[in-house]
Amino acid sequence: MTINNYKFAGKKAIVRVDFNVPLDENGNITDDTRIRGALPTLKKILEEGGSLIIMSHMGKPKGKVNPKFSLAQIKDAVAAALGRDVKFAEDCANAADAVAALQPGEVLLLENLRFYPEEEGKPVGIDKEDPAYEVAKKEMKESQKAFAKTLASYADCYVNDAFGTAHRKHASTAVIADSFGDDDKMLGYLMEKEVQAVDNILSDIKRPFTAIMGGSKVSTKIGIIENLMDKVDNLILCGGMTYTFAKAQGGKIGLSICEDDKLDLALDIMKKAQEKGVNLVLGSDCIAGDKFSNDANTQVVSSMDIPEGWEGMDAGPVTRESFANVIRTAKTILWNGPAGVFEFDNFSGGSKAIAEAIVEATENGAFSLVGGGDSVACVNKFGLADKVSYVSTGGGALLEAIEGKVLPGVAAIKG
Ligand code: AMP
């Protein structure tokens, strides 16, 4: 079923959203992107005369009730975004009465799903090495099914609009779908858009295809880097992983971050790129700082010859230009991970140069997908989010989808 075809009038819809929004120490939302992202789906259901049961996780309460992660803190913000009252169920697994009282057009927000260990389906309090772990895991899978059935019992149909958790086989993201027939379960609009954006990158590739992978470590990106190697024409590797590559090639990297156990891997990536005819672009110069701080003293140095006591913290001017030249001519672009410590304004120039080149390419007809928390934070910081083709809400889910893995949250609905 698709959300556009389903008739929500008079129906109760349980919708999994990703309202895992960042909060400050007073419980105020500091970035409501995720709430805004789910609005088209939620509004469609309400405007058609359906009633809405919203479920989400927040943070990592590890299967225990913890007020710090209570969704009660965001109830008013959700109400304001929807322009309607929102009722709140303090116990997501005992909300049958509140659900029964729900009238068409009304909204019920369930308390954090992860207050129950059944949501994630992992045994808590038992070490993985403990012989009892496997038994506990089996038992937990059964309780997870029961928990998912309870959630399913609240509604006539199930909508999954939480792309951020689509790579997890949790009660609310996948297992619950087993309780609904194909005609009563569907992806929400945000999920549809995310799946489409990934599809554009994977199957409808206009060339040249340029991927820009940055961030701190090569180890967390290796799966996607290897996968992209079969698809891209140009692969720009930047950010902290630059220095693992520099050291692997015999460079001096001072205090720059480096994964010493990944030096062989770095050389292997370089070799594979050559074998596959991929243009691997690494930075040649960098802005080094004498401390990890925005007000560090800086100098532009070769990425292969960073002085003792200094660390590479951003791409240098020559590198920026070489990245931008490759990006400007691309027709398909994927960006994940910043080119430097962009949180410090004085080290955000490299990431900004990338963002600006992506915008230019997009204006010239490229499809550009920016995803993963930090690159999204980058385009937001530079005010360029609406000038790229698509900004994904998914971090891990996006990377897994692009690696070609089947996302349990999508498979549970689409088969
Ligand atoms: P990731 O979560 O792996 O995408 O990494 C994002 C983080 O990498 C950001 O917080 C950046 O500050 C950090 N980062 C990028 N370049 C560097 C660098 N040269 N040195 C240290 N951290 C970096």
Q: Could you tell me the CA-to-CA distances from 260 to 45, 266, 290, 376 in Å, in that order?
A: 52, 10, 21, 28
> Do both 267 and 144 map to the same domain?
no
CATH of the domain at 172: 3.40.50.1260
- Tokens 């991970």 map to which residue? 337
Q: How many folded domains does the chain comprise? A: 2
pLDDT in the model for residue 367: 96
Residues sharing a CB contact under 8 Å with residue 134, sequence separation 6 or more, in sequence order: none
Q: Is 217 noted as a catalytic residue in this protein?
A: yes
2 alpha-carbon distance from chain centroid: 23
Task: Render pLDDT for 147-188 as a digit per residue (tens, 0 to 9).
Answer: 999 999 999 999 999 999 999 999 999 999 999 999 999 999
What whole-number distance in Å separates Cα of residue 369 and Cα of residue 294? 29
- Tokens 């999994």 map to which residue? 16
Angle at 173 between CA 172 and CA 175, to 5 degrees: 70
What whole-number distance in Å separates Cα of residue 127 and Cα of residue 201? 40
pLDDT band at 289 (very low <50, low <70, confident <90, very high): very high
> Do both 115 and 255 map to the same domain?
no
Q: Is 320 noted as a catalytic residue in this protein?
A: no
> Do both 162 and 214 map to the same domain?
no
Task: Render pLDDT for 134-145 as a digit per residue (tens, 0 to 9).
Answer: 999 999 999 999
Position 4 in a domain: no
> Do both 229 and 330 map to the same domain?
yes
Position 408 in a domain: no
Ligand 1 pocket member 254 (CB < 6 A):
no
Domain that holds residue 212: 205-402
Which ligand 1 atom sits nearest the alpha carbon of residue 220? 3
Last residue of a domain, one of 193, 225, 260: 193
For the beta carbon of residue 356, count every other beta carbon within 10 angstroms.
17
pLDDT in the model for residue 373: 66
Ligand 1 pocket member 312 (CB < 6 A):
yes
Q: Is 373 noted as a catalytic residue in this protein?
A: yes
- Give the three-state DSSP class for 185: strand
43 alpha-carbon distance from chain centroid: 23
Can you give the pTM of this predicted structure?
0.87
> Do both 348 and 271 map to the same domain?
yes
Task: Render pLDDT for 114-130 as a digit per residue (tens, 0 to 9).
Answer: 999 999 999 988 898 99
